[in-house]
Amino acid sequence: MWPHQYEAADLAYRGRNVIISTGTASGKSLAYLTPAVTSCLDGGTVLYLTPTKALAADQFRGLRELRIAQVRAATFDGDTPFEERTWVRQHANYVLTNPDMLHRSILPRHSQWSSFFRRLRLVVVDECHNYRGVFGSHVAQILRRLRRICARYGSGPVFMLASATASEPGAFARRLTGLEMDEVTVDASPKGATTFALWEPPLTELRGEGGAPVRRTATAEAADLLADLVLADVRTLAFVRSRRGAETVALSARAKLADVAFSLSTGRHGLRSSGSNGHREAAAPPQLLGHHDLLDPHFHLNGLPGRRSSEDDSSPLSPAVEPSAGRTEGVATTANSSATDSRTSPGASPKASLGASAGASARDVADAAELPGIVADAADAPGRVSDAADVPGGVTDTTELPDRVTNAVDAPGRVTHAADVPSGVTDTTELPDRVANAVDAPGRVTHAADVPSGVTDTTELPDRVTDPAELTGDITDATELPGRVAAYRAGYLAEDRRELEKALRSGSLMGLATTNALELGVDVSGLDAVLIAGWPGTRASLWQQAGRAGRDGQDALAVLIARDDPLDTYLVHHPEALFGRPVEAIVLDPDNPYVLGPHLCAAAAEIPLTEDDLATFGPTAPELLDDLVAQGLLRRRPAGWFWTRRERATDLADIRGAGGAPIQVVEASTGRLLGSVDEPSAHTTVHTGAVYLHQGETFLVEELDLEAGVALVSSSEPDYATFARDVTDISVLSSLRSQALGRGELHFGEVEVTRQVVSYLKRRLQSGEMLGDEPLDLPPRTLRTRAVWWTLPASVLVPLAEEGIDLGGAAHAAEHASIGLLPLFATCDRWDIGGVSTELHADTGLLTVFVYDGHEGGAGFAERGFARAADWLTATREAIASCECERGCPSCIQSPKCGNGNEPLHKRGAIRLLNTLLGDDVD
């Protein structure tokens, strides 16, 4: 065991609550498995909690592989057949479940679990950094209810928490569990190197609202890169923020691979760039290449053909533009795509563009007939390069050499000095520990300054590849290529998810587009690369996702692909905000009355509440109980508080949603139930006209009937996505805290927000082109929540108005950008918060910009913004200023959910306004 594993296991064994917070793949599982198995062997039971079914299934598989007869492990979740649940309750001593099942099934039926609870020795809360915001607040109360049930049965289990990425882990764990907590944070495990690239898609010739330039979408870039990496036999995960996005990336990558398969089957090879949009036209190369050569590490994937013409709007197999010189910090490469392709130098022959090497000689290749495939040129010869000068000019990625290579003469693509990295190399990686000399390192860059112009990406082939001809892996027919990519997300049937996980582990799947369902510690060892399409919301999630590659000490590649969003723009231009910085503090508010109230009712339904129980639920519980009695939800009797209704008390708490009865999504033609969404989300996700994706199938919503709780959909294949837009009104109820901020004032308090979805945008999937804005007629929704807001007095705004700055447009632009940047300082998503700005607000009488929590009662995000206001608003100003557009675009001040059509907006005015607020009036 590594020291951190032993320390955590020993603390738990000695009865101390502990959180282990160490890096990804640092062996935390062994740290809690050791005391867990010991508890089972001693006659006790163990409860394991995880946010996702995928991780529970993975842990269950690992337990079964231990083959310890006394450990009777079982999963207990929505996928567990009903006939098996009785056996689990009566016989299992190691139960793996999730907070949802604990809340809705196990705790309300605690009497059926009495034998299990009496012997409960250890509660493992895995991947606990995911318990943040409103969801985390709900989980905190569920754990308090669990502690109360355990006390009823005379047990006092040790709580052991595990997280790869938690800031101030001890304080967070105490807030989550309500218990004193030791912490283990020193990671003693060995690590492989990870090369991290920051990739900003290029601006296109398309124009959006107000004539703003439109960037190529992150999902389109991810699909291209995923297809490229699969072709290179690089096992890759592509993390996409939404279920729809994951399906889109997988479908697009499969389509691109199908194009390649078609081209291979018809004998057409080669693509050449055409025009500034990055489109490609098929080009017949000077000589035919075999499909083995297409998967050779020295053959650039942009040399592959496709059926697209130069007029086709669909995106290329890989970025058709060469990134300009980027800034590299540590192993982070910042790439900014430009509008030209310089992989082929001016005047170069077509052969050179396909990888011909002017330095190749007869001594390198005795006879072209000796080469695998149909290679007729020395440049195409794998394993025959004897000098760095012989590396073909079109090589765009470097790979690990097979173990059998013992001489530089035998090393394909062997680079002996950083300066020898050929023009066009788009990626560099650090080699495994077995490489003893930089001279032996293919693509090894010894100094950031040596990174050649255009380096943006690096891949590392799996160790099992020992011959370039074997790079086709198990593909014996090009038609198999599309089948090596799939999508993975919540909502699939349990057996489908398990099959996908198994296929990825075995290597029959080489590319998987997924939501964060695979972000957690699922053992998908052997992965080489991770693509992250858009900032995942927190540094914690970023490092967690990047850590999926390079398991078992391997080196790895991670690429963060920026979305057209202010925060993503800021990060690719400010890598120092990511690297060498601690992860965010995890924000949750267990005392939120809208969270605590339903759980007090659930606790009373499980066992009547007494005065002695109130300390478990926090200082606000007594006052809140009086309100629940007044509402008729609880009844006060001398013995305590009782739940007397016939309804299930657990239905009051929707721990992952925002309340309200779910909306059923039904196929109109067949009556087939496709899924469900919570009622508030229905306004933005299944409104009339929305595009809805389900397990790879695309549907259009024909009608949303809120009264009936049904969204009727029909099968369709539109080439666009939809984005709901809303308008918001806000009233200040009370200011809880305030302070001076520069030349203005900063406030935090309670507000009432009225939101109404008024229309939706249609945007082309591949290009991001705006296709229209369709009106909607949906009822407004009102919530009481908490907000942070800042004001500026009229006296400091007069000079700006005299310069002709539109103050309303400047405040509107600053609001949009500040919403985009807050997730960098609070563990939230842009869609968890909202904002309002006005040149003159009725409640403040001043120019005011609000940012509020999008959850009833607040979620702690706005409070975090109040605490970090100076840093947050400074970063907002820098994000706007660093964007290359002239008047504003989605990368800085435009918002996809703005109900006012992103009008008015004033980019320069927003910078001046923030300068004035922060006390820096330099334009």
Chain segment 715-749, per-residue pLDDT in tens: 988 888 898 888 889 999 999 999 999 999 999 99
The string of pLDDT tens digits covering residues 270-295 is: 433 333 333 333 333 323 223 233 23
Place of tokens 């969204």: 711
Portion of the chain with pLDDT greater than 70, in percent? 73
Pick 103 or 281 by higher pLDDT: 103
And the tokens for 656? 């992952």
Q: What Å distances lie between residue 56 and 12, 101, 220, 499, 888, CA to CA?
A: 21, 12, 32, 15, 45
Q: Are 148 and 607 in contact (CB under 8 A)?
A: yes
Burial class (CB in 10 A: 0-12, 13-18, 19+), 391: buried
The string of pLDDT tens digits covering residues 520-558 is: 545 555 688 999 999 887 787 788 888 878 766 678 899
Q: Is 241 helix (H, G, I), strand (E, B) or coil?
A: coil
Q: What Å distances lie between residue 717 and 242, 251, 317, 721, 759, CA to CA?
A: 18, 12, 21, 11, 21
Domain extents in the chain = 3-184, 194-572, 593-652, 663-718, 723-918
In this prediction, residue 492 carries a pLDDT of 64
What count of Cα atoms within 13 Å lies in the side-chain half-sphere of residue 591? 11
Q: Where is average pLDDT lowest: 331-345, 364-378, 836-850?
A: 364-378
Contacts of 160 (CB under 8 A, 6+ apart): 8, 12, 17, 18, 19, 20, 32, 35, 122, 123, 124, 125
The string of pLDDT tens digits covering residues 685-712 is: 899 999 987 765 789 999 999 989 999 9
Pick 865 or 215 by higher pLDDT: 865
In this prediction, residue 489 carries a pLDDT of 67
The string of pLDDT tens digits covering residues 596-623 is: 999 999 999 999 999 999 999 999 999 9
Contacts of 332 (CB under 8 A, 6+ apart): 196, 197, 198, 575, 578, 579
In this prediction, residue 478 carries a pLDDT of 67
The string of pLDDT tens digits covering residues 628-638 is: 999 999 999 99
Listed in order, strand segments (DSSP E) in 6-66 are 18-21, 45-49
**Does the pLDDT at position 912 exceed 80?**
yes
State mean pLDDT over 367-390: 33
Residue 442: band (very low, low, confident or very high) from pLDDT cuts 50, 70, 90: very low
In this prediction, residue 586 carries a pLDDT of 77
And the tokens for 218? 């992150």
Mean per-residue pLDDT of the chain: 76
Report how far residue 839's alpha carbon sits from residue 853's, in angstroms, rounded to the nearest whole number: 21
Report how far residue 411's alpha carbon sits from residue 434's, in angstroms, rounded to the nearest whole number: 15
In this prediction, residue 98 carries a pLDDT of 95
Pick 350 or 20 by higher pLDDT: 20
And the tokens for 674? 């496709």
**Does the pLDDT at position 157 exceed 70?**
yes
And the tokens for 893? 């001040």
Q: Which top CATH class is 3-184? A: alpha beta
For the CA atoms of 377, 382, 387, 388, the dihedral, rounded to the nearest 10 degrees, stands at 100
Q: Where is average pLDDT lowest: 178-187, 543-552, 794-803?
A: 543-552
Residue 380: band (very low, low, confident or very high) from pLDDT cuts 50, 70, 90: very low
Pick 360 or 837 by higher pLDDT: 837
Report how far residue 337's alpha carbon sits from residue 340's, in angstroms, rounded to the nearest whole number: 9
In this prediction, residue 828 carries a pLDDT of 77
Nearest to 167 by CA among 825, 668, 712: 825
In this prediction, residue 742 carries a pLDDT of 92
State mean pLDDT over 362-388: 33
In this prediction, residue 519 carries a pLDDT of 54
Q: Are 299 and 388 in contact (CB under 8 A)?
A: no
Q: Where is average pLDDT lowest: 5-9, 50-54, 202-206, 519-523?
A: 519-523
Residue 121: band (very low, low, confident or very high) from pLDDT cuts 50, 70, 90: very high
Q: Is the dihedral of CA 414, 418, 422, 427 positive or negative?
A: positive
Report how far residue 749's alpha carbon sits from residue 737's, in angstroms, rounded to the nearest whole number: 7
- CB neighbourhood size of 199 (10 A): 26
**Does the pLDDT at position 812 exceed 90?**
yes
Burial class (CB in 10 A: 0-12, 13-18, 19+), 434: exposed
**Does the pLDDT at position 327 exceed 60?**
no
Residue 825: band (very low, low, confident or very high) from pLDDT cuts 50, 70, 90: confident
In this prediction, residue 52 carries a pLDDT of 84
The string of pLDDT tens digits covering residues 392-406 is: 333 333 333 333 333
The string of pLDDT tens digits covering residues 26-38 is: 889 999 999 999 9
**Does the pLDDT at position 334 exceed 90?**
no
In this prediction, residue 859 carries a pLDDT of 83
Q: Where is average pLDDT lowest: 317-321, 482-486, 598-602?
A: 317-321
Pick 457 or 117 by higher pLDDT: 117
